[in-house]
Structure 1
Amino acid sequence: MDWSTWLRMPMTVLLVLAAVFLLITLVQLVVLRQHLHGGRRLAAMWRALLCLIFFALALLLGGTGYALRGYRLLSEETPVVDIDAHILSPQRWALTLTWPDGSTRQVQVAGDDWNIEAIVLKWKLPALLSGVPPLYRLDRLSGRYDDATQEASAPRTVISFDHADDGFDLLDLHKQYPDWLPEVDTLYGSGAFLPLVDQGHYTVSLMRTGALVARPDEATQQKIGQPFGG
């Protein structure tokens, strides 16, 4: 993963800031010790207060960064993932997911279509006016059957992209403690799906509005038999 990708992740920025404040805390502790040895108690009390403030900021930034792992900044149109499909048997597919940073993942889904969903976070007016962009993270990929009856009874496949195995995630925090995150305006889901074809190649992007857009390449579109995307 290159530096440009890391910098588009709010987790990275917040954890770096947390490390900076932690370093400042250590510096203040050294100065505090010097004041104590020198008998300057008033100056030592002031340094102790600064230590507490900087350490609290480091904990706050570190905890927030950890809760935002998996989220990325949302620009005008952000490439999310490329999907390559290969048929294994009727209604059984192998998918290769390729992220913008070059990492890949192999999964299998059942159905006639693939369906991908993302979670989008938007901010309230003060944060919005200050230029804080929306955040997003992929939530899940699943197979989808064209026939509604089959959709209700046939085997389903759902692949999770959830990074919060321990339950410590911004989405969970906002649901359980909404007053803790007053600047969060909305947390909502966005999804897109396209028919699966053998040797199909698809690109998925997320618009700044929060809408997922899925597009097949030209060869895949011809196999599907009708235009999609736009």
Structure 2
Amino acid sequence: MDWTTLLRLPSTILLALAVIALLFTLAQLLALRARLASRQRLAAALRTLLLLAGFALTLLLAGMGWSLRGYRLLAEETPVVDIDARILSPQRWALTLHWPDGSARQVEVAGDAWRVEAVVLKWKLPALLAGLPPLYRLDRLSGRYDDAQQEAQAPRTVIGFNQAGIYDLPRWMPGVDTVFGSGAFLPLVDEGHYSVSLMRTGALVARPDEATERRLAQPFGG
């Protein structure tokens, strides 16, 4: 990850601001000690107020940065994950997940289709006008049966991504308009390849490649 990408991460920016606020707080603490030593009570009271304000700001920025760990910035359409499918047995599949950073993960799901879900955070109007994009984090991947009755009775598989920070959802943050879930699913075929991306609107989009699309168009998925 280059510095440009790193600086675009919301948690990195907030934690960097928290460090600056902490340095300001420490400077006020040293100034307060000097004013107390010289018995400048009025100046000491002012430094105390600045110290408390700096400490509160440090906690706020650090808490916001920590809570946004795992969230990503949304461009017009941001690649989320690529999925390769291989059949193991009827309604049993091995999936290989390829992340944009080059890492990969292998999982198994049961069903006729896969479904991926994300949590999306959108800002209120002032932040949107300032150009602040929505944020997202992946939540889970699951198998899905075509038949609703089988979905209710057959074994289900759910894989969590555990990308959230210490707080579940930062609804308390200033400027947050709404936090909602977005999901997409596609049928599974052997040797299928799929791409998942997230639009700026917060909609999760899943697309098969050309070969997979041809197989999906054939009876019973080719």
Q: Deviations over 1:118-163 (max 9, x none)?
A: 1212222222222221111111110011122221211101111233
CA shift in 2, pair 1:154/1:121, >3 Å = same
- Correspondence for 2:184: 192
1:14 is displaced (CA, Å) by: 1.0
**Quick one: distance in 2 between partners of 1:119 and 1:44?**
47
CA shift in 2, pair 1:225/1:107, >3 Å = same
**Quick one: distance in 1 between partners of 2:51 and 2:129?**
32
- Correspondence for 1:151: 151
Query: For the aligned residues, what is the CA RMSD?
Result: 2.0
CA shift in 2, pair 1:107/1:64, >3 Å = same
CA shift in 2, pair 1:7/1:103, >3 Å = farther
TM-score, normalised relative to structure 1:
0.86
**Quick one: distance in 2 between partners of 1:18 and 1:205?**
31
Return 74-83 or 117-126, whichever deviates more. Answer: 117-126
* One-letter code aligned to 1:217: D
1:225 is displaced (CA, Å) by: 2.5
- Correspondence for 1:6: 6
1:41 is displaced (CA, Å) by: 2.8
- Correspondence for 2:22: 22
CA shift in 2, pair 1:161/1:4, >3 Å = farther
- Correspondence for 1:169: 168
1:59 is aligned to 2:51: no
- Correspondence for 1:130: 130
Gap regions ≥5 residues in structure 1: 175-179
**Quick one: distance in 1 between partners of 2:36 and 2:86?**
69
The count of corresponding residues between Structure 1 and Structure 2 is: 218
Q: Deviations over 1:44-66 (max 9, x none)?
A: 22222111111100100111112
* One-letter code aligned to 2:27: V
CA shift in 2, pair 1:165/1:205, >3 Å = closer
CA shift in 2, pair 1:50/1:131, >3 Å = same
Q: Do the aligned residues in 2 keep the contact of 1:5 with 1:101 (CA within 8 Å)?
A: no
2:212 to 203, 211, 220: 220
Gap regions ≥5 residues in structure 2: none
TM-score, normalised relative to structure 2:
0.88
CA shift in 2, pair 1:150/1:165, >3 Å = farther
Matched position secondary structure for 1:14: helix
Q: Do the aligned residues in 1 keep the contact of 2:137 with 2:163 (CA within 8 Å)?
A: no
Q: Do the aligned residues in 2 keep the contact of 1:68 with 1:169 (CA within 8 Å)?
A: no
Sequence identity (%): 72
